[in-house]
Structure 1
Amino acid sequence: MIQAHAFDNDLKIPLIIKANEDLLVNFRLGDIQHFAEDQGIYLHDKVNAIYIDLRDINYDLILEGGDYDNRFEITFNNQDTLEDEEALLKDLRIFQDNAQHQFTILNPTALPVSQVKIFDMSGKLILDQIGLNTQDEYHFSTTGMSDGVYMALIDLKNAGSINKKIIIKN
């Protein structure tokens, strides 16, 4: 399907799913040809407002029966992150502390974190902390979460957001 389009980093390819009943959907990459190894390939889930880097992880979720004409698209850049996300990541240290059962954000330069969300790989919102005050550290308990891969979304006031894959092993 992608070969039918001239490649452009801003290209968005809509994915349409029609399900007669509840359906387990598995998004994963198969054979990748004619792409640079560092070229991102993202699934944009518009409902959950997340971008999944399909080169790093698969995305599985259960959809209720129905038509999903405008929920998913394949993109080649993560529009939800800042142009200089690498610079921000130097200022924010984001990690899962499995020994303490905590998701931790170290913020020594006091970036204005406004919201933190954690999604499981089915797209289910597991944690949603809003109205956060600017702090140099944030800690969120992961005690009740199952072992697995999760996607964290950190929103910065008026500065975009950062997606980070975390692995929880409680």
Structure 2
Amino acid sequence: MASQNNSTAAINNLRRIGCRRKGRKGETDRIESRLGDLFRSKGFAVVHSYQPDLVNGKDPGEVDLLCYMDNHLLVLEVKSTYIRKTKQDAWIHRTTTLRKASQQLRQKENAMAQAIVNDANLQAKLKLSDQKDAINIHPWIVDTSIEYDQRGGSVCLNSILSFLSGASAFD
């Protein structure tokens, strides 16, 4: 692991101390909203905080962001965390936060496969094509930390921001 500079250390300390703070939800909402705005600016249809119907009697939970373009539907689960400074912290992040997010995404992916067929309101918001069976669903964990970028369905927020800043279309 790389050493931390003073700014990173200060941010991490504040995030650790206030990990259950009242404003954390607002922080994550702002990240989701700004990320959605950036996807929208690149031509994606975006839905923020979508609650799919129950699947087999189970609540799949809220989907943070749905971004659709050219038969590709991104199902994004945003995780706002601190930058880890030890290998143990990184391992704990991977085995708890990212594992749980991965399990949540599997449930949400199934729910979204049903929702794009059955939810007319969602179809209109995403401007879905008539060929709903041709839509490719891509579940991603968008993590504010960089330790596990592009591993196991996790993508670093900075990687997405870099991609979108130069992207003209989704491949």
TM tier relative to shorter chain = under 0.3
The structure with the largest helix share of the pair is 2
Name the structure, 1 or 2, with higher relative contact order (CA <8 Å, separation 6+).
Answer: 2
Q: TM-score, normalised by structure 1?
A: 0.27
The structure with the largest strand share of the pair is 1
